[in-house]
Chain A
């Protein structure tokens, strides 16, 4: 299991909220350097799985290893290797773009001598050099997402974990976010673990995909393999529907996300 070639290894990963099982025994290997997509409808358990991998929720011993380290016993070391972008827009609107990134530079112990320059570089890399001195509450959704990307990248993580990085963004802003992710990955060779429910994005950007439904992984492979396995000429959308039984959205699970989106909207004014 402690194979150094893998960024993330999950074995029998499970989590229940009270009686409700959100992640129900996942086995997963994310190879170093790949873009791995975790796909599934709302409520599939993607965010819960991510929160277990990032140490936000407690995973049992032996359930998750990140670069060969068990997350249940090596939280601090694991966190140092991870850059994380949560599902919600979560930059601090009261701070400027630069201050937002500087905070994470401090929290990741970027040496003081390099801090200024690294913050400047990473803001430029996500295309926010000109907006750096403005408060984040004046940013558009796409700009906030790119700012958060800068926050996640300031520690030069080996593993970038993105939870629905493009949710709620318009197509141009979505492309903008993905372009930045790809540029950085090309430059550093880091591993990317991303969740999404946009099939087109997964098809276009992910090397491998796991289809998740009701806490379980239903299919795993490259987008090409998954499509070919269904029938020649199938789209990923069709593959998705086959495994999740037509439900792109499960009505019961939309409430939490809707509420969060509203909260975020009201916070950003």
Chain B
């Protein structure tokens, strides 16, 4: 501990939005590294979280493939379903991610993070991408299982890159939605309740299980404003080659993620007050 006290930045260095942008990549890396360390220390969550999507693919997927109840054109139903289940499981990870920030608040960790040179938006973005890291580890498990079950997945590395980007953006949006709810609800129990209340409507009100064309009119409307539908559409297009509107999906998810980050950052102050 003999380091000299560091030179203080010039006295004129008032806060600016430039500061946020300059620090953003480093803060995102810091939060992602921590998330990976936590995953490495405690792998049980990785396994327990894989059970539910596995059941969806094995039971729901196999059964409905046989029933041929859902018309998916030339695409086998299991192939159609796999990207939907991938999106679903990232949704489940993200929608309860806000619990972590409430936990951090209760433990004083959040206060300590906010006394580092980390603008609030950078902290939230870091957390959003950290949630994305967790979702990606989950995605690997689901895609391996899908391949074993005979789903024909793309071999194009560019498309895989696209899958990573889409999963990150989708998870960023839903985890920010969760952190926004955390900033409003302020307690773990309420966040759990709200999370549970909205996951199923988000899931069933999307094209994860069935094409939008099969839905009644009112559900179709919900599905069109539900970012999960755009995530599924993009994943389906990238992974199994169904026709989709990738630029639109990407744009919707990007805007949704940016809006989520803005909302969650604005509410972060409530949590430390």
Q: Do A and B bind each other?
A: yes
Cβ-defined contact, B19 with A90, below 8 A:
no
Given A67-B8, A77-B9, A156-B5, the answer on whether A84 and B115 have CB atoms closer than 8 Å is yes
Docked CA distance A184–B2 (Å): 8
User: Other than the known A74-B15, A106-B27, A121-B3, what 8 A-B pairs have Cβ atoms closer than 8 Å?
Assistant: A84-B115, A86-B108, A94-B41, A95-B41, A107-B118, A122-B1, A260-B106, A263-B106
Docked CA distance A75–B8 (Å): 13
Chain B nearest CB from A83 CB (Å) reads 9
Is A190 in the interface zone, CB < 8 Å from B? Answer: yes
Is B44 in the interface zone, CB < 8 Å from A? Answer: no
Contact of B29 among A77, A106, A189 (CB under 8 A): A106
Chain B nearest CB from A176 CB (Å) reads 16
Contact of B14 among A57, A74, A135, A155 (CB under 8 A): A74
Is B273 in the interface zone, CB < 8 Å from A? Answer: yes
Residues of A contacting B119 with CB < 8 Å? 76
Is A247 in the interface zone, CB < 8 Å from B? Answer: no
Docked CA distance A188–B6 (Å): 11
Is A207 in the interface zone, CB < 8 Å from B? Answer: no
Seen from chain A, the residues whose Cβ lies within 8 Å of a Cβ on chain B are 17, 51, 54-57, 67-69, 73-77, 79-82, 84-90, 92, 94-96, 99, 102-104, 106-109, 118, 121-122, 125, 135, 148, 151, 153, 155-158, 183-184, 187-190, 260, 263-264, 267
Cβ-defined contact, B1 with A87, below 8 A:
no
Is B4 in the interface zone, CB < 8 Å from A? Answer: yes
Cβ-defined contact, A80 with B2, below 8 A:
no
Contact of A88 among B19, B107, B117 (CB under 8 A): B107
Chain A nearest CB from B113 CB (Å) reads 7
Residues of B contacting A157 with CB < 8 Å? 5
Cβ-defined contact, A106 with B14, below 8 A:
no
Docked CA distance A156–B37 (Å): 25
Chain A nearest CB from B265 CB (Å) reads 14
Residues of B contacting A267 with CB < 8 Å? 103, 106-107
Is B147 in the interface zone, CB < 8 Å from A? Answer: no
Residues of A contacting B107 with CB < 8 Å? 88-90, 92, 263-264, 267
Cβ-defined contact, B108 with A95, below 8 A:
no
Contact of B27 among A107, A183, A184, A260 (CB under 8 A): A107
Given A90-B109, A95-B38, A103-B34, the answer on whether A79 and B3 have CB atoms closer than 8 Å is no
Chain B nearest CB from A185 CB (Å) reads 10
Q: List 15 A-B contacts (CB under 8 A).
A: A51-B111, A56-B115, A56-B272, A75-B15, A76-B13, A85-B112, A95-B41, A96-B37, A99-B34, A107-B116, A109-B26, A118-B3, A156-B3, A183-B1, A190-B5
Residues of A contacting B37 with CB < 8 Å? 95-96, 99
Docked CA distance A76–B6 (Å): 15
Residues of B contacting A75 with CB < 8 Å? 15
Interface string of B113-129 (1 = CB under 8 A from A): 11111110000000000
**In this complex, what residue of A is CB-closest to B5?**
A158
B 116-167 contacts with A by CB, 8 A: 116-119
**In this complex, what residue of A is CB-closest to B34?**
A103
Is B42 in the interface zone, CB < 8 Å from A? Answer: yes
Given A89-B108, A190-B5, the answer on whether A94 and B38 have CB atoms closer than 8 Å is yes
Is B55 in the interface zone, CB < 8 Å from A? Answer: no
Given A77-B8, A95-B37, the answer on whether A90 and B108 have CB atoms closer than 8 Å is yes
Residues of A contacting B11 with CB < 8 Å? 68-69, 77
Given A86-B111, A87-B108, A263-B106, the answer on whether A73 and B14 have CB atoms closer than 8 Å is yes
Cβ-defined contact, A92 with B117, below 8 A:
no
Chain B nearest CB from A139 CB (Å) reads 14
Residues of A contacting B117 with CB < 8 Å? 76, 79-80, 107-109
Residues of A contacting B200 with CB < 8 Å? none
Cβ-defined contact, B29 with A54, below 8 A:
no
Cβ-defined contact, B112 with A151, below 8 A:
yes
**In this complex, what residue of B is CB-closest to A118?**
B3
**In this complex, what residue of A is CB-closest to B30?**
A106
Cβ-defined contact, A90 with B112, below 8 A:
yes
Docked CA distance A75–B37 (Å): 30
Residues of B contacting A264 with CB < 8 Å? 107-108
Given A106-B33, A107-B27, A264-B107, the answer on whether A76 and B15 have CB atoms closer than 8 Å is yes
Residues of A contacting B4 with CB < 8 Å? 156, 188
Chain A nearest CB from B137 CB (Å) reads 16
